[in-house]
Amino acid sequence: MEKETDADIKTNQEQGQPTPDNGNQFSRSRRRFFKLLGGGIAVTFVLQDAFALLTDPENAAVLQQASPKKVGAWIHIGENDIITVYTGKVEVGQNIRTSLAQVVAEELHVPMASITMVMGDTDLTPYDAGTFGSRSTPSMGPQLRKAAATAHAMLLDMAAQQWKVNKSALRVADGKVINTKNNKSLSFGQITKGKQLLKEVSESTSLTPTEKWRVAGTSVPKVNGRELITGRHKFVSDLKQPGMLYGKVLRAPAFGASLATVDLSAAKAMPGVVVVHEDDFIGVAAPDAQTAAKAIEAIKVSWNNTEQPSRSNIFDYLKQHANDGRGGRGSSDKGDVKQGMAAAYKKLEATYNVDYIAHAPMEPRAAVAQWENDKLTVWTGTQRPFGVQDDLASKFNLSKEKVRVIMLDTGSAYGGKHSGEAAVEAARLAKVAQKPVKLTWTREEEFTWAYFRPAGVIEVSSGVKNDGTLISWEFHNYNSGPSGIRTPYEVPNQQIQYHPVESPLYQGSYRGLASTANIFALESQMDDLASLVSMDPLEFRLKNLQEPRLKAVFEAAAEGFGWGKTKPAPNHGYGIGGGTEKGGFTATCAEIAVDPGTGDVKVVRTTTAFECGAIINPEHLENQILGAIVQGLGGALFEAVDFENGKILNPHFAQYKVPRFKDTPVVEIIMLNRKDLPSAGAGEAPIVGIAPAIRNAIADATGVRLKTLPLVPDGLKANLGAP
Amino acid sequence: MELQVNGNKHTVSAASDTSLLYVLRDELDLTGSKYGCGEGQCGACTVLMDGKAVRSCRVPLSATQGKQITTIEGLEKEGQLHPVQQAFLDVDVFQCGYCAPGMIMSAVALLETNPRPSEEEIVAHMNGNICRCGTYPRIVKAIKEASNA
């Protein structure tokens, strides 16, 4: 028989927890919670989250809505010694499956291997808005630490009760509570056996200080590394369900095109093929992928095209269609830029153009959808499983409880998988086919119908005094977005505005969001201002900078690179750029070489200094920084989505160039470990310095001050002048 | 048609022009080899055919007749990782790991013909494989480690 106790449950009426009126329901909910998870103890942040697992309408009063602002997660310690962490966060290569387990292992004093992470499953994990904005480490990490520390304290209390000793004589090590007086020990499972204890995380729980970390702060290897290098890990695109069909969707030839005429008869006549035509959606499901492709080819279709922008006129289009943006997101004013410019010794105005670029995750969008009675289950690679659950529920008019989204560790995202297009498409096909359907987007679909990092136009008007201090800074961004739009430098007169535009191509989140564009423009402008007042670019930045954390990374990068120590070789140049984003501080120095004959630009070496508070996993942090540098190098040098009249012209790796082995410079990474500061995420911020550093290095080598991203998709020959 | 994969003979029902990648993944459920582009541009589908690295998305089933195919699933022997896999694991190379099987198969092919490659040779040989997470220097390090093993 399982025993129960309510003693440890704190009451909090606001959060829908036990009151005289709903206490009985609460007990029932708790019992069902443990029935699902197995006996033991559990620590949660918000009790409703735990009960949201239970879909008994009887408990609706207790359930309410999971509160989206709270960070949901819980830790369960089972009678079998297994510790399971439930979080709605997902793994897309940023290694949070490892780092979040590390902080739990740290506070619970258990080996990494005893922790199982259940992530991004809407039936099993509490609501989470999504894995983006570098929030997992700064928000989920501390919450899990607190939950684990709360569980730690509970286990000590329970063992003390069981042994009838004072808990000061007890300590926790290696998944056991040990009585230091007699060396007796109880495993966590022995302590939690027969219990059904549910406790809310205690805000007052003391956490292990950073300097005493033994598991956190170390380079624990990727927890599922072996699965990946043996090919055993099942990505969504690898899943197979009994009786599963393969789906394919008919795509429009261009953005803005709509169906004119369609003849499905040939496709419908193909054996085993299910054809779905609902409004503008046409898709097929077939017993194998080849047949699905042939069925789509067999559909006779004509389209009504509308006039759409092209890459050649996109920057004019964005300027013409921009909202004034005053007072909107990212807008800020200080002093008076007119007076500032009037007082300037030197002025510099420039316009920067930034192309759309693609995330191009190696695993394209994929989903497997399965209907059982009226319950829909979809496996898909998304950064927002609960968002996709919402999309599916609204698309099929289902209550959320009838939709389960399961996110398997996915073949990367970089901000590019916030959406659930493949999930909705697969579910539409599966519903009609009445069989499970897998839909894997082709590379061409991923390059066309996913969304892009926005294109943008950035206008900067700046002034500097003769002593090299900034006096005026006016910055307008059209369409890129507001991230990283504010200058970190001290300027008394500023006007900064983001002007939103209705983008003609799908656009959305990206690694570092708009800061890749804004900091590029900002740091290019800073370099050119330094040149105007004949100052060293690093000295000019430091002179105008107060933020000590940003100063520290500039100084560390410069020191590591040997800035100012040597002169670049002929046709080589040195450049620097940096900034802050999402709680991370980064600076990159780059050395580039220009081939004077061909105009080819090669990045020879880079040094990046990065600081994001206390480091949880040095090896994995270094890997994220490396990844940001390499990805940022692509956007800096050559990546651009080419399109004409709404049609994407380069939807293949043969035409859309991404960084490869040969493009990769010698990458030096300096990590500043600030154990005194909370850990911030690192997947995004280190990308922002590389593009301006390369741009400024090209300027150093050639005097050519480029104002576009990408910088040199066709090399520098046109800029160097024909010999 | 018949297909020899990882030392096993399979009779498969796919048409002769079907790509090897689809036969491996959809018919034999050997899903370690990945689809990345379908055009031989990214290397995620790399397998060995008679010991040479090929892009399985570009190899029709008909071209595999009488050849020995090795996929990532065939590298581990009785729980023992192949030295290249071991090196990739030791270096803790990857982020998302989707490109991992193709990278490892390309590296195995390299070391079979050139057991002590220089860094330039590694880079030249591996250039057809894309890691969008950008772990290239870590891959080079792992291949060097494997070559010294």
ipTM score assigned to the predicted complex: 0.98
Place of tokens 């590694």: B122
Q: Provide the pairing of β-strand A40-44 with A196-200.
A: parallel
Q: Cβ atoms within 10 A of the Cβ of A287, count? A: 17
Distance (Å, whole) CA A389 – CA A392: 5
pLDDT of residue A554: 98
* Residue A361 to residue B136, Cβ atoms within 8 A: no
Question: Which helix (H) or strand (E) is A602 found in, with range?
Answer: strand A601-611
Residue A646 pLDDT > 90 = yes
pLDDT of residue A28: 67
Out of A44-53, A521-530, B92-101, least confident range: A44-53
SS3 at position B75:
coil
- Cβ A584 vs Cβ A137: under 8 Å: no
Distance (Å, whole) CA A549 – CA A584: 9
Total beta-carbon pairs less than 8 A apart between chain A and chain B: 173
Nearest to A92 among B85, B96, B138 (CB): B96
Distance (Å, whole) CA B28 – CA B13: 10
Chain B nearest C-alpha distance from A419 (Å)? 18
Scanning A432-471 for CB atoms below 8 A from B yields 440, 442-443
Which of the four pLDDT bands, split at 50, 70 and 90, describes residue A29? low
Domain ranges of chain B: 2-74, 83-148
Scanning A286-315 for CB atoms below 8 A from B yields 288-290
Contact of A364 with chain B, judged by CB distance below 8 Å, is answered with yes
Distance (Å, whole) CA B12 – CA B25: 12
User: Are residue A165 and residue A96 in the same domain, yes or no?
Assistant: yes
Look at residues A388, A405, A440 and tell me which one is the last residue of a structural domain.
Answer: A440
* Residue B71 to residue A231, Cβ atoms within 8 A: yes
pLDDT of residue A8: 30
Distance (Å, whole) CA A132 – CA A384: 8
User: Are residue A471 and residue A540 in the same domain, yes or no?
Assistant: yes
Chain B nearest C-alpha distance from A557 (Å)? 19
Q: How many residues in chain B?
A: 149
Question: CATH code for B2-74?
Answer: 3.10.20.30
Nearest CA to A607 among A576, A646, A583? Answer: A576
Comparison of pLDDT for A195 and A433, the residue scoring more: A433
Nearest to A661 among B32, B72, B123 (CB): B123
Chain A nearest C-alpha distance from B93 (Å)? 8
User: Are residue A377 and residue A491 in the same domain, yes or no?
Assistant: no
pLDDT of residue A53: 53
CA distances from A721 to A350, A599, A603 (A): 22, 10, 21
A664 interaction partners in chain B (CB closer than 8 Å): 134, 136-137
A102 interaction partners in chain B (CB closer than 8 Å): none
Out of A235-244, A258-267, A403-412, A713-722, least confident range: A713-722
In terms of Cβ atoms closer than 10 Å to its own Cβ (0-12, 13-18, 19+), residue B96 is: buried
- Mean pLDDT score across all residues of chain A: 91
Scanning A640-669 for CB atoms below 8 A from B yields 652-654, 658-662, 664, 667
Answer whether residue A310 is part of any domain: no
Nearest to B136 among A289, A359, A664 (CB): A664
pLDDT of residue A49: 54
Place of tokens 């994929």: A366
pLDDT of residue A134: 87
Out of A38-47, A310-319, A530-539, least confident range: A38-47
Q: What's the rounded mean pLDDT across residues A453-481?
A: 97
* Residue B137 to residue A652, Cβ atoms within 8 A: no
Q: What is the spatial order of strands in the sheet that A601-611 belongs to?
A: A572-581, A584-594, A601-611, A666-672
pLDDT of residue A47: 56
* Residue A219 to residue B18, Cβ atoms within 8 A: no
Task: Determine if the peptide bond prior to A364 is cis (ω within 30°).
Answer: no
* Residue B136 to residue A660, Cβ atoms within 8 A: yes
- Cβ A318 vs Cβ A501: under 8 Å: yes
pLDDT of residue A330: 73
Burial A483-522 (b: 16+ CB within 10 A, else e): bbbbbbbebbbbbbbbbbbebbbebbbbbbbbbbbbbbbb
Look at residues A177, A209, A229 and tell me which one is the last residue of a structural domain.
Answer: A229
Residue A5 pLDDT > 90 = no
User: Are residue A298 and residue A334 in the same domain, yes or no?
Assistant: no
Chain B residue with CA closest to A654: the answer is B41
Chain B nearest C-alpha distance from A466 (Å)? 42
Q: What's the rounded mean pLDDT across residues B41-68?
A: 98
Chain A residue with CA closest to B105: the answer is A229
Look at residues A206, A229, A252 and tell me which one is the last residue of a structural domain.
Answer: A229
Q: Which two tokens stand for residue A661?
A: 């082995």
Answer whether residue A472 is part of any domain: yes
pLDDT of residue A70: 54
B18 interaction partners in chain A (CB closer than 8 Å): 290
Nearest to B133 among A290, A627, A652 (CB): A627
Which of the four pLDDT bands, split at 50, 70 and 90, describes residue A12? very low
User: Are residue A595 and residue A663 in the same domain, yes or no?
Assistant: yes
Residue B9 pLDDT > 70 = yes
Amino acid identity for residue A248 in this structure = K
Distance (Å, whole) CA A57 – CA A69: 24
Q: Which two tokens stand for residue A599?
A: 């105009």
SS3 at position A513:
coil
Residue A40, strand partner residues: A78, A196
Residue B11 pLDDT > 90 = yes
* Residue A653 to residue B39, Cβ atoms within 8 A: yes
Q: Which two tokens stand for residue A208?
A: 């292990």
User: Are residue A592 and residue A635 in the same domain, yes or no?
Assistant: yes
User: Are residue A201 and residue A94 in the same domain, yes or no?
Assistant: yes
CATH number at residue A93: 3.30.365.10
* Residue A624 to residue B95, Cβ atoms within 8 A: yes
Scanning A607-626 for CB atoms below 8 A from B yields 619-620, 623-624, 626
User: Are residue A426 and residue A513 in the same domain, yes or no?
Assistant: no
Distance (Å, whole) CA A470 – CA A526: 9
pLDDT of residue A214: 95
CA distances from A608 to A253, A630, A632, A671, B38 (A): 42, 12, 12, 8, 35
* Dihedral, CA of residue A339, residue A345, residue A346 and residue A349, to nearest 10: 0
Nearest to B132 among A225, A361, A667 (CB): A361
DSSP secondary structure of A514-529: THHHHHHHHHHHHHHH
Q: What's the rounded mean pLDDT across residues B13-39?
A: 97
Comparison of pLDDT for A626 and A718, the residue scoring more: A626
Which of the four pLDDT bands, split at 50, 70 and 90, describes residue A327? low
DSSP secondary structure of A232-299: -S--GGG---TT-EEEEE---SSTT-EEEEEE-HHHHTSTT-EEEEETTEEEEEESSHHHHHHHHHT-
Nearest to B88 among A229, A359, A628 (CB): A229
Residue A18 pLDDT > 50 = no
The count of structural domains within chain A is 3
Determine if residue A401 is left, alpha or beta; phi over 0 gives left, psi from -120 to 50 gives alpha, anything else beta.
Answer: alpha
Answer whether residue A7 is part of any domain: no
Distance (Å, whole) CA A633 – CA A698: 13
pLDDT of residue A13: 30
Distance (Å, whole) CA A159 – CA A167: 8
Chain A nearest C-alpha distance from B24 (Å)? 11
Distance (Å, whole) CA B140 – CA A170: 48
Amino acid identity for residue A121 in this structure = D
Task: Tell me the percentage of chain A whose pLDDT exceeds 90.
Answer: 82
Scanning A91-150 for CB atoms below 8 A from B yields 92-95
Chain A residue with CA closest to B139: the answer is A661
Answer whether residue A483 is part of any domain: yes
Q: How many residues in chain A?
A: 723
Answer whether residue A312 is part of any domain: no
B72 interaction partners in chain A (CB closer than 8 Å): 230-231
Contact of A573 with chain B, judged by CB distance below 8 Å, is answered with no
Radius of gyration of chain B from its Cα atoms, rounded to whole angstroms: 15
SS3 at position A10:
coil
Chain A nearest C-alpha distance from B48 (Å)? 15
Mutate to test the interface with B, among A92, A228, A619, A653 (most CBs of B within 10 A): A228
pLDDT digits (tens, 9 = 90+) for B61-75: 999 999 999 999 999
Which of the four pLDDT bands, split at 50, 70 and 90, describes residue A643? very high
pLDDT of residue A26: 61
Q: What's the rounded mean pLDDT across residues A639-655?
A: 97
Contact of A588 with chain B, judged by CB distance below 8 Å, is answered with no
Chain A nearest C-alpha distance from B126 (Å)? 7
Distance (Å, whole) CA A62 – CA B82: 54
B96 interaction partners in chain A (CB closer than 8 Å): 92-93, 361-363, 409-412
pLDDT digits (tens, 9 = 90+) for A582-626: 999 999 999 999 999 999 999 999 999 999 999 999 999 999 999
Q: What is the spatial order of strands in the sheet that B8-11 belongs to?
A: B8-11, B2-5, B68-70, B46-49, B52-55
User: Are residue A608 and residue A647 in the same domain, yes or no?
Assistant: yes
Chain A nearest C-alpha distance from B66 (Å)? 24
- Mean pLDDT score across all residues of chain B: 97
User: Are residue A488 and residue A421 in the same domain, yes or no?
Assistant: no
Contact of A218 with chain B, judged by CB distance below 8 Å, is answered with no
Distance (Å, whole) CA B99 – CA A233: 12
Residue A319 pLDDT > 60 = yes
Residue B14 pLDDT > 80 = yes
Q: What's the rounded mean pLDDT across residues A387-400?
A: 97
In terms of Cβ atoms closer than 10 Å to its own Cβ (0-12, 13-18, 19+), residue A378 is: buried
Answer whether residue A489 is part of any domain: yes
Q: What's the rounded mean pLDDT across residues A386-405?
A: 96
Q: What's the rounded mean pLDDT across residues A170-185?
A: 94
Answer whether residue A578 is part of any domain: yes
User: Are residue A525 and residue A644 in the same domain, yes or no?
Assistant: yes
Contact of A409 with chain B, judged by CB distance below 8 Å, is answered with yes
Out of A19-28, A525-534, A610-619, B16-25, least confident range: A19-28
pLDDT of residue A722: 46
User: Are residue A397 and residue A531 in the same domain, yes or no?
Assistant: no
* Residue B96 to residue A230, Cβ atoms within 8 A: no
* Residue B34 to residue A362, Cβ atoms within 8 A: yes
Q: Write out the residue range of the structural domain in which residue A91 sits.
A: 13-229
Place of tokens 């795509």: A251
* Residue B94 to residue A222, Cβ atoms within 8 A: yes
Residue A528 pLDDT > 90 = yes
pLDDT of residue A30: 73
Query: Residue B24 — φ and ψ, nearest 5°?
Result: -60, -50
Distance (Å, whole) CA A639 – CA A516: 13
Out of A30-44, A442-456, A607-621, B28-42, least confident range: A30-44
Scanning A230-269 for CB atoms below 8 A from B yields 230-235, 237-238, 240, 246
Answer whether residue A1 is part of any domain: no
Amino acid identity for residue A237 in this structure = S
* Residue A228 to residue B140, Cβ atoms within 8 A: no
Residue A79 pLDDT > 50 = yes
Which of the four pLDDT bands, split at 50, 70 and 90, describes residue A22? very low
**Class of the CATH domain delimited by B83-148:** mainly alpha
